[in-house]
Amino acid sequence: MFDTKYQLRHIRWKKNTSSNKTLTMINWCANSIQITGSEIELEEFYETLYTPNVKGEIVPFSFHQTVPIQQGFESEVSKAIVWGTPSDAESVNIISRTPYVFLLSCDTAWNPPLNWTRSFVRRFPSLQVRIAYVEGGIQFYGIILARYNRITLTEYPFSYGDLQHIVYDPETGRERLAEEDEYPDEIRPAGMLEQFMNHYQVAHIWVRLFKTSLGK
Protein backbone atom coordinates (compact mmCIF):
# COMPACT_ATOMS: atom_id res chain seq x y z
CA MET A 1 0.00 0.00 0.00
CA PHE A 2 1.02 3.62 -0.50
CA ASP A 3 3.15 4.89 2.37
CA THR A 4 3.73 8.65 2.61
CA LYS A 5 6.97 8.01 4.50
CA TYR A 6 8.53 6.76 1.28
CA GLN A 7 7.54 9.51 -1.15
CA LEU A 8 10.10 9.66 -3.93
CA ARG A 9 10.27 11.63 -7.14
CA HIS A 10 11.45 9.87 -10.29
CA ILE A 11 14.33 12.34 -10.78
CA ARG A 12 14.50 15.48 -8.65
CA TRP A 13 17.45 17.84 -8.52
CA LYS A 14 18.15 19.83 -5.38
CA LYS A 15 20.90 22.16 -4.23
CA ASN A 16 23.06 21.35 -1.23
CA THR A 17 23.67 24.84 0.14
CA SER A 18 26.47 23.75 2.48
CA SER A 19 28.65 22.25 -0.26
CA ASN A 20 27.12 23.94 -3.32
CA LYS A 21 26.81 20.53 -4.98
CA THR A 22 23.89 19.49 -7.14
CA LEU A 23 22.39 16.17 -6.04
CA THR A 24 19.92 13.87 -7.73
CA MET A 25 17.19 11.89 -6.03
CA ILE A 26 17.79 8.17 -6.48
CA ASN A 27 15.68 5.71 -8.43
CA TRP A 28 15.46 2.70 -6.10
CA CYS A 29 15.50 -0.84 -7.43
CA ALA A 30 13.71 -3.50 -5.34
CA ASN A 31 15.50 -6.87 -5.28
CA SER A 32 14.70 -10.40 -4.16
CA ILE A 33 18.00 -12.29 -3.78
CA GLN A 34 18.01 -16.08 -3.47
CA ILE A 35 21.20 -18.09 -2.88
CA THR A 36 21.22 -21.90 -3.07
CA GLY A 37 23.73 -24.72 -3.45
CA SER A 38 26.30 -26.61 -1.42
CA GLU A 39 25.47 -26.79 2.28
CA ILE A 40 29.17 -26.37 3.14
CA GLU A 41 29.67 -23.24 1.03
CA LEU A 42 26.32 -21.81 2.09
CA GLU A 43 27.52 -22.10 5.69
CA GLU A 44 30.75 -20.31 4.69
CA PHE A 45 28.61 -17.52 3.24
CA TYR A 46 26.52 -17.38 6.42
CA GLU A 47 29.71 -16.68 8.38
CA THR A 48 30.03 -13.37 6.50
CA LEU A 49 26.64 -12.15 7.75
CA TYR A 50 26.45 -9.76 10.70
CA THR A 51 29.90 -8.40 9.99
CA PRO A 52 30.93 -4.82 9.06
CA ASN A 53 29.69 -3.07 5.94
CA VAL A 54 31.79 -0.52 4.03
CA LYS A 55 31.08 2.06 6.78
CA GLY A 56 32.28 -0.29 9.51
CA GLU A 57 28.76 -0.91 10.84
CA ILE A 58 27.71 -4.43 11.86
CA VAL A 59 24.75 -5.30 9.62
CA PRO A 60 22.81 -8.48 8.76
CA PHE A 61 23.80 -8.36 5.08
CA SER A 62 25.99 -6.16 2.93
CA PHE A 63 27.60 -6.56 -0.50
CA HIS A 64 30.86 -5.45 1.15
CA GLN A 65 30.84 -8.58 3.35
CA THR A 66 31.52 -10.87 0.38
CA VAL A 67 32.80 -8.48 -2.31
CA PRO A 68 34.65 -5.76 -0.36
CA ILE A 69 35.40 -2.24 -1.50
CA GLN A 70 39.10 -1.44 -1.11
CA GLN A 71 39.80 0.94 1.76
CA GLY A 72 40.22 4.50 0.49
CA PHE A 73 38.07 3.83 -2.58
CA GLU A 74 34.60 3.99 -1.02
CA SER A 75 33.11 6.42 -3.57
CA GLU A 76 29.84 5.80 -5.40
CA VAL A 77 31.81 5.33 -8.62
CA SER A 78 33.89 2.57 -7.01
CA LYS A 79 30.78 0.88 -5.65
CA ALA A 80 29.10 1.04 -9.08
CA ILE A 81 32.14 -0.59 -10.68
CA VAL A 82 32.56 -3.32 -8.05
CA TRP A 83 28.88 -4.05 -7.28
CA GLY A 84 26.99 -2.70 -10.31
CA THR A 85 25.12 -0.19 -8.13
CA PRO A 86 26.43 2.91 -6.31
CA SER A 87 24.76 1.90 -3.05
CA ASP A 88 25.11 -0.97 -0.63
CA ALA A 89 22.02 -3.05 0.12
CA GLU A 90 19.36 -0.90 1.82
CA SER A 91 16.17 -1.89 3.69
CA VAL A 92 17.48 -5.44 4.10
CA ASN A 93 14.98 -8.09 5.15
CA ILE A 94 16.21 -11.68 5.55
CA ILE A 95 13.21 -13.82 4.64
CA SER A 96 14.69 -17.31 4.90
CA ARG A 97 17.96 -18.84 6.12
CA THR A 98 18.19 -22.62 6.00
CA PRO A 99 21.06 -25.06 5.32
CA TYR A 100 20.03 -25.06 1.65
CA VAL A 101 18.35 -21.73 0.82
CA PHE A 102 18.99 -18.09 1.69
CA LEU A 103 16.42 -15.48 0.65
CA LEU A 104 16.38 -11.75 1.31
CA SER A 105 14.87 -8.56 -0.04
CA CYS A 106 16.71 -5.27 -0.33
CA ASP A 107 16.78 -2.00 -2.26
CA THR A 108 19.66 -0.73 -4.40
CA ALA A 109 20.28 2.54 -6.22
CA TRP A 110 19.42 2.59 -9.92
CA ASN A 111 20.29 -1.02 -10.79
CA PRO A 112 20.41 -4.55 -9.40
CA PRO A 113 23.86 -5.64 -8.11
CA LEU A 114 24.99 -7.43 -11.27
CA ASN A 115 28.74 -7.03 -10.77
CA TRP A 116 28.48 -8.15 -7.13
CA THR A 117 26.73 -11.29 -8.39
CA ARG A 118 29.58 -12.09 -10.79
CA SER A 119 32.19 -11.76 -8.07
CA PHE A 120 30.09 -13.62 -5.51
CA VAL A 121 29.76 -16.81 -7.58
CA ARG A 122 33.50 -16.76 -8.30
CA ARG A 123 34.17 -16.66 -4.56
CA PHE A 124 31.56 -19.37 -3.85
CA PRO A 125 31.70 -21.56 -7.00
CA SER A 126 29.18 -24.18 -5.81
CA LEU A 127 26.48 -21.59 -5.01
CA GLN A 128 23.85 -20.23 -7.39
CA VAL A 129 22.35 -16.74 -7.18
CA ARG A 130 18.97 -15.63 -8.49
CA ILE A 131 18.03 -11.96 -8.32
CA ALA A 132 14.55 -10.81 -9.29
CA TYR A 133 14.38 -7.02 -9.47
CA VAL A 134 11.95 -4.23 -10.29
CA GLU A 135 12.95 -0.64 -11.02
CA GLY A 136 9.84 1.54 -11.13
CA GLY A 137 11.40 4.88 -12.03
CA ILE A 138 12.66 4.00 -15.50
CA GLN A 139 10.23 1.06 -15.41
CA PHE A 140 11.96 -2.24 -16.08
CA TYR A 141 12.20 -5.58 -14.30
CA GLY A 142 14.06 -8.81 -14.76
CA ILE A 143 15.97 -11.84 -13.53
CA ILE A 144 19.69 -12.44 -13.00
CA LEU A 145 20.78 -16.10 -12.80
CA ALA A 146 24.39 -16.80 -11.89
CA ARG A 147 26.65 -19.72 -11.19
CA TYR A 148 30.44 -20.01 -11.33
CA ASN A 149 30.87 -20.30 -15.09
CA ARG A 150 27.69 -18.65 -16.34
CA ILE A 151 25.53 -15.58 -15.75
CA THR A 152 22.39 -14.60 -17.62
CA LEU A 153 20.21 -11.51 -17.42
CA THR A 154 16.67 -11.35 -18.78
CA GLU A 155 14.99 -7.96 -18.67
CA TYR A 156 11.57 -6.58 -19.60
CA PRO A 157 10.16 -3.06 -19.89
CA PHE A 158 6.89 -2.26 -18.13
CA SER A 159 3.98 -2.75 -20.50
CA TYR A 160 0.48 -1.32 -20.62
CA GLY A 161 -1.51 -2.69 -17.72
CA ASP A 162 1.47 -3.34 -15.44
CA LEU A 163 0.50 -0.43 -13.18
CA GLN A 164 -2.89 0.59 -11.84
CA HIS A 165 -3.46 4.21 -10.79
CA ILE A 166 -6.06 4.23 -8.02
CA VAL A 167 -8.08 7.10 -6.53
CA TYR A 168 -10.44 6.96 -3.56
CA ASP A 169 -13.84 8.47 -4.26
CA PRO A 170 -15.02 10.38 -1.17
CA GLU A 171 -18.64 10.35 -2.37
CA THR A 172 -18.93 6.58 -2.65
CA GLY A 173 -16.20 5.64 -0.17
CA ARG A 174 -14.80 3.24 -2.78
CA GLU A 175 -11.69 3.10 -4.88
CA ARG A 176 -11.63 3.27 -8.65
CA LEU A 177 -9.14 3.59 -11.51
CA ALA A 178 -7.90 7.16 -11.95
CA GLU A 179 -8.86 9.15 -15.00
CA GLU A 180 -6.08 10.35 -17.28
CA ASP A 181 -5.92 13.82 -15.69
CA GLU A 182 -6.31 12.67 -12.06
CA TYR A 183 -3.47 12.45 -9.57
CA PRO A 184 -3.53 8.94 -8.04
CA ASP A 185 -3.82 8.18 -4.34
CA GLU A 186 -2.07 4.86 -4.88
CA ILE A 187 -0.14 3.06 -7.62
CA ARG A 188 -0.31 -0.74 -7.65
CA PRO A 189 1.46 -3.42 -9.66
CA ALA A 190 -0.91 -5.31 -11.94
CA GLY A 191 -0.88 -7.71 -14.86
CA MET A 192 2.36 -9.50 -15.69
CA LEU A 193 4.34 -7.31 -13.30
CA GLU A 194 2.16 -8.33 -10.34
CA GLN A 195 2.51 -12.00 -11.29
CA PHE A 196 6.30 -11.58 -11.50
CA MET A 197 6.49 -9.89 -8.10
CA ASN A 198 4.28 -12.54 -6.48
CA HIS A 199 6.24 -15.43 -7.97
CA TYR A 200 9.69 -14.11 -7.01
CA GLN A 201 8.65 -12.46 -3.72
CA VAL A 202 9.58 -8.92 -4.70
CA ALA A 203 7.84 -7.14 -1.84
CA HIS A 204 7.41 -3.63 -3.22
CA ILE A 205 8.15 -1.28 -6.07
CA TRP A 206 9.28 2.34 -6.17
CA VAL A 207 7.18 4.23 -8.73
CA ARG A 208 7.80 7.95 -9.19
CA LEU A 209 6.21 9.52 -6.10
CA PHE A 210 5.39 6.28 -4.34
CA LYS A 211 6.77 3.18 -2.74
CA THR A 212 3.92 0.70 -3.26
CA SER A 213 3.72 -2.87 -2.00
CA LEU A 214 1.79 -5.90 -3.08
CA GLY A 215 -1.45 -5.88 -1.18
CA LYS A 216 -1.28 -9.18 0.69
CA 175 to chain centre: 29
Q: Tell me the backbone φ, ψ of residue 72, rounded to 5 degrees.
A: 95, -5
SS3 197: helix
The mean pLDDT of 134-141, rounded to a whole number, is 92
- Say which residues have a Cβ less than 8 Å from residue 9's Cβ, sequence separation at least 6: 25, 208, 209
**Contacts by 22-26 with C-beta closer than 8 Å and gap 24+?**
26/87, 26/109, 26/110
DSSP 172: T
Q: Are 22 and 16 in contact (CB under 8 A)?
A: yes
This prediction's pTM: 0.83
Q: What is the pLDDT of residues 72-86, one digit of tens each?
A: 888 999 999 999 999
CATH number for position 78: 3.30.70.1270
Choose the weakest-confidence range: 20-29, 43-52, 88-97, 101-110: 20-29
In the chain, the number of structural domains is 1
Q: What is the pLDDT of residues 60-119, one digit of tens each?
A: 999 999 999 998 888 999 999 999 999 999 999 999 999 999 999 999 999 999 999 999
Predicted local distance difference test score (pLDDT) of residue 215: 45
- Say which residues have a Cβ less than 8 Å from residue 7's Cβ, sequence separation at least 6: 209, 210, 211
SS3 110: coil
Write out the residue range of the structural domain in which residue 100 sits.
4-213
